[in-house]
């Protein structure tokens, strides 16, 4: 996926549509909108940028998971098997982009007033297990379902993630990064797309096109991202791997 921050207006349409598409419960979002400020008054600038699961080529979350609940498909989409998730939250800690949520007991939007019609429909169509981790899956049902009909993700709306379709500014582009002729590949090459904090070593599959006034250091420097101050990612993964081996679950190397 490519997100052009020259076009993003920070309207939250992507966040809301994602929540609607997947019937996410109260307090759970799979995408978020962050703010980058630079300069000083009166020459200060502010930019918004969406953050979602980066569907990394080298996912730290997979390395941390003791039960193989977090998996990567052949097409690169990283997803969570709720039936295998034991709620240990190792993947939540391991994700340097802080885009995983832990789902506990469902809460009503209006406590004491019963469930809304939306919540009743959500419980019927998209029942989530309690005490499991949830995250963006690039609308894998749409991508997979569309492909079965001969549709092309990123070209045909029915096979494209909902957040891409809903964006009023057309800031998001979805497609095959392995195809050099795809629109996403040409955007990255032609406009200098950058990954969010590549220093984490996970090789994200989400790229951003930055406005000239937005400092690249905010995207490229680990120290500018809150997660970098919380833990050492390599150390955590080594600890998680040791725990898997001692418990005899999930295997060693992936």
Average pLDDT in the 114-141 region? 84
What number of other Cβ atoms are within 10 A of residue 21's Cβ? Answer: 18
Segment among 35-39, 69-73, 204-208 with least mean pLDDT: 35-39
Alpha carbon distances (Å) from 126 to 113, 119, 251: 22, 10, 31
Per-residue model confidence (pLDDT) at position 232: 44
Give the H/E segment covering residue 93.
Answer: helix 90-94
Domain for residue 8, yes or no?
A: yes
Per-residue model confidence (pLDDT) at position 253: 44
Domain for residue 14, yes or no?
A: yes
185 vs 37, residue with greater confidence: 185
Q: Which residue range forms the structural domain that includes residue 56?
A: 2-247
Domain for residue 194, yes or no?
A: yes
Domain for residue 19, yes or no?
A: yes
Give the H/E segment covering residue 244.
Answer: helix 233-247
pLDDT-derived band at 247 (thresholds 50, 70, 90) equals low
Percent of the chain with pLDDT over 90: 56
Q: Are 102 and 82 in contact (CB under 8 A)?
A: no
Q: Which two tokens stand for residue 43?
A: 């020459």
Domain for residue 252, yes or no?
A: no
How close are the terminal C-alpha atoms of the chain, in Å?
A: 25
Q: Report long-range pairs for 34-39 (Cβ below 8 Å, ≥24 apart).
A: 36/214, 36/215, 36/218, 38/213, 38/214, 38/215, 38/218
Strand 2-4 and strand 207-209: pairing?
Answer: parallel
With 60 as the cut, is the pLDDT of residue 205 above it?
yes
pLDDT-derived band at 241 (thresholds 50, 70, 90) equals low
Buried b (16+ CB within 10 A) or exposed e, 75-95: eebbbbebeebeebebbbbbb
Per-residue model confidence (pLDDT) at position 83: 93
Q: Name, of 31-45, 191-205, 233-247, the range with top average pLDDT.
A: 191-205
With 90 as the cut, is the pLDDT of residue 119 above it?
no
Q: Are 241 and 249 in contact (CB under 8 A)?
A: no
Alpha carbon distances (Å) from 128 to 25, 45, 68, 156: 9, 40, 18, 28
Domain for residue 166, yes or no?
A: yes
Per-residue model confidence (pLDDT) at position 240: 53
Mean pLDDT score of the chain, rounded to an integer?
Answer: 85
CATH code, domain with 156:
3.30.70.20
Average pLDDT in the 142-168 region? 95
Task: Please give the tally of structural domains in the chain.
Answer: 1
Domain for residue 254, yes or no?
A: no
Per-residue model confidence (pLDDT) at position 126: 72
Domain for residue 98, yes or no?
A: yes
């Amino acid at each position: 996926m490519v997100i052009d921050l020259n076009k993003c207006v920070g309207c939250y349409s992507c966040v809301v549509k994602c929540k609607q598409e997947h019937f996410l419960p109260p307090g759970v979002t799979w995408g978020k909108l962050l703010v980058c400020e630079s300069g000083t008054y009166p020459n200060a600038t502010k930019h918004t940028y969406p953050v979602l699961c980066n569907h990394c080529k080298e996912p730290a979350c997979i390395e941390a998971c003791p039960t193989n609940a977090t998996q990567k498909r052949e097409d690169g989409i990283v997803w969570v098997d709720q039936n295998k998730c034991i709620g240990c939250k190792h993947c939540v800690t391991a994700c340097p982009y802080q885009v995983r949520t832990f789902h506990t007991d469902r809460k009503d939007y209006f406590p004491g007033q019963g469930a809304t019609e939306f919540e009743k429909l959500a419980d019927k169509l998209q029942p989530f297990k309690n005490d499991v981790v949830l995250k963006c899956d690039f609308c894998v049902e749409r991508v997979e379902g569309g492909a079965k009909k001969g549709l092309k993700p990123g070209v045909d709306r029915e096979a494209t993630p909902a957040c891409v379709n809903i964006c009023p500014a057309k800031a998001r582009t979805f497609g095959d990064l392995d195809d050099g002729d795809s629109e996403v590949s040409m955007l990255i090459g032609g406009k200098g797309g950058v990954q969010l904090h590549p220093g984490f070593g996970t090789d994200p599959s989400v790229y951003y096109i930055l406005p000239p006034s937005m400092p690249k250091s905010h995207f490229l420097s680990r120290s500018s991202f809150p997660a970098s101050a919380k833990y050492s990612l390599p150390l955590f993964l080594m600890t998680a791997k040791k725990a898997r081996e001692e418990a005899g679950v999930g295997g060693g190397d992936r």
